[in-house]
C-alpha cells in the first residue's frame, strides 16, 4: 500500500486526541512527518486525550493545539494550517443515540459547521488535499455490500451530519477557484486499542472482564463490518498520497467481512474462554440491520486490502484493555449501551 511521502510535511490532523486520530498521529510521527495536531480537548485536563497522545506528546515533530474548529477565530485556524500539504479531518462528535436528543446542536456544530470552517481555511491556505473521515452511517439500511454510488439515506441525525460534511467537501472541491482536492473515506465500524468505551467491542470485552452484563439490542442478528484501526490508518495515509488530479473522491474503508453481534459475542467467548454476560433489550432508533462494504474502489484508488482479521484484532484490543492501569478512570463517558455505527 502506498504511504504518505515524508516530503509532504507538515500535515494537520484534526481530532488528533481521539481514537482514530491518535493512531493516525502516531503513524505519521513514525514516518518522521511533522504533525500539527488539533483537538478541542485538553491533554492536561482530559484523561482520555492525555492517554491517547501520551507517546506522541514526547515527539519533537508534534505540535499540539487545543482549538475548536467551529467557534475559534478563523485567523487562528489560518495560522495553524498555513504551509500544510495535507489536512486529515477527523474531528467530529461520534455516536448514533446521543444525536437524537439535545446534543444535536453539538453534532451540527462539530460535524458540519467545523467542516465548513476548515474547508474555507484550506482554500485560503491553498492546501493541496483534505482527507475527510466519514462513516458508513451515511448509507442507512442496505440489502447488500454498499458501493460509493449507492443512494444515501442515513437513519440518524449523526449519519445526516456526516453526509452533510461529505457534501460540503464535494461542493468546495467542485469550485473552479479551489486548489484543494478532497478524499472522503467512509469508515466501517472501527475497533482496536483506544476504542471508545461505548462501542460494541469495548463493551463486550468490558463485560467479560468485569462480569457486568452488556445490553444486547434486538435479536443479535444485526451485523457490522468491523475494521481494525491499523487498517483504517493505512487507508487514510494512502488517501493522502493518491497521485495526480483527484478533485473529489468518496471511498469505502472496511474490514473485508460482516459479522452479526451473536457471532462477535461467540468470538469474544472463544478468545477469553468466558461466557459474555448479556441483558436483552429492545432495538434502538437509528440502528441499521447490517453494514457491509464493497471495497472495489478502495483497492483501485488506495491499493487497500484489510490485513487484520477480526479474531486477531479483538485479541489485540483485549490485551490493551487489560494493561490499562485504571480502565474506569480513563474511559470516555459511556451512555451504558453498545454503540453500533
Catalytic residue numbers?
Answer: 158
Q: 3-state class of 66 per DSSP?
A: strand
Does residue 125 have a cis bond before it (omega within 30 degrees)?
Answer: no
Q: How far apart are the C-alpha atoms of 115 and 107, rounded to whole Å?
A: 11
Cβ neighbours of residue 175 under 8 Å, at least 6 residues apart? 123
Per the document, the length of the chain is 341
In Å, what is the CA distance from 261 to each residue of 26, 90, 288? Answer: 30, 27, 12
**DSSP β-ladder status, 259-260 and 223-224:** antiparallel
User: First vs last Cα of the chain: how many Å apart?
Assistant: 26
For 287, the grid coordinates are 440502528
Taking Cα atoms as reference points, which of 87, 64, 78, 80 lies closest to residue 4? 87
For 145, the grid coordinates are 455490500
Q: How far apart are the C-alpha atoms of 228 and 234, rounded to whole Å?
A: 10
Amino acid at each position: 500500500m502506498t504511504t504518505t511521502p515524508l516530503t509532504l510535511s507538515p500535515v494537520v490532523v484534526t481530532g488528533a486526541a481521539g481514537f482514530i486520530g491518535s493512531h493516525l498521529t502516531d503513524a505519521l510521527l513514525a514516518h518522521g512527518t511533522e504533525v500539527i495536531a488539533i483537538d478541542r480537548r485538553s491533554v492536561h485536563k482530559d484523561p482520555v486525550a492525555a492517554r491517547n497522545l501520551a507517546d506522541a506528546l514526547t515527539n519533537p515533530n508534534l505540535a499540539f493545539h487545543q482549538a475548536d474548529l467551529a467557534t475559534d477565530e478563523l485567523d487562528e485556524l489560518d495560522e495553524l494550517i498555513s504551509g500544510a500539504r495535507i489536512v486529515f479531518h477527523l474531528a467530529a462528535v461520534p455516536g448514533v443515540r446521543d444525536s437524537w436528543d439535545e446534543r444535536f446542536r453539538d453534532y451540527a456544530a462539530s460535524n458540519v459547521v467545523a467542516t465548513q470552517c476548515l474547508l474555507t481555511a484550506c482554500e485560503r491556505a491553498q492546501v493541496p488535499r483534505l482527507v475527510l473521515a466519514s462513516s458508513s452511517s451515511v448509507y442507512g439500511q442496505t440489502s447488500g455490500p454498499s458501493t460509493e454510488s449507492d443512494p444515501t439515506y442515513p437513519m440518524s441525525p449523526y449519519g445526516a451530519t456526516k453526509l452533510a460534511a461529505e457534501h460540503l467537501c464535494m461542493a468546495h472541491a467542485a469550485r473552479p477557484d479551489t486548489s484543494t482536492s478532497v478524499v472522503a473515506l467512509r469508515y466501517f465500524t472501527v475497533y482496536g486499542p483506544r476504542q471508545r468505551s461505548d462501542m460494541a467491542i469495548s463493551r463486550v470485552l468490558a463485560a467479560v472482564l468485569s462480569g457486568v452484563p452488556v445490553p444486547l439490542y434486538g435479536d443479535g442478528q444485526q451485523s457490522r463490518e468491523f475494521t481494525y484501526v491499523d487498517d483504517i490508518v493505512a487507508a487514510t495515509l494512502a488517501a493522502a498520497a493518491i497521485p495526480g488530479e483527484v478533485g473529489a473522491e468518496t471511498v469505502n474503508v472496511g474490514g473485508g467481512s460482516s459479522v452479526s453481534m451473536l457471532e462477535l459475542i461467540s468470538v469474544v467467548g472463544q478468545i477469553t474462554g468466558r461466557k459474555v454476560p448479556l441483558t436483552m433489550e429492545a432495538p434502538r432508533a437509528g440502528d441499521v440491520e447490517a453494514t457491509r462494504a464493497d471495497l472495489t474502489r478502495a483497492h483501485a484508488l488506495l491499493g487497500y486490502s484489510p490485513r487484520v482479521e477480526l479474531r486477531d484484532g479483538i485479541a489485540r484490543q483485549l490485551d490493551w484493555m487489560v494493561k490499562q492501569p485504571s480502565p474506569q478512570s480513563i474511559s470516555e463517558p459511556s451512555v451504558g449501551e453498545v454503540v453500533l455505527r
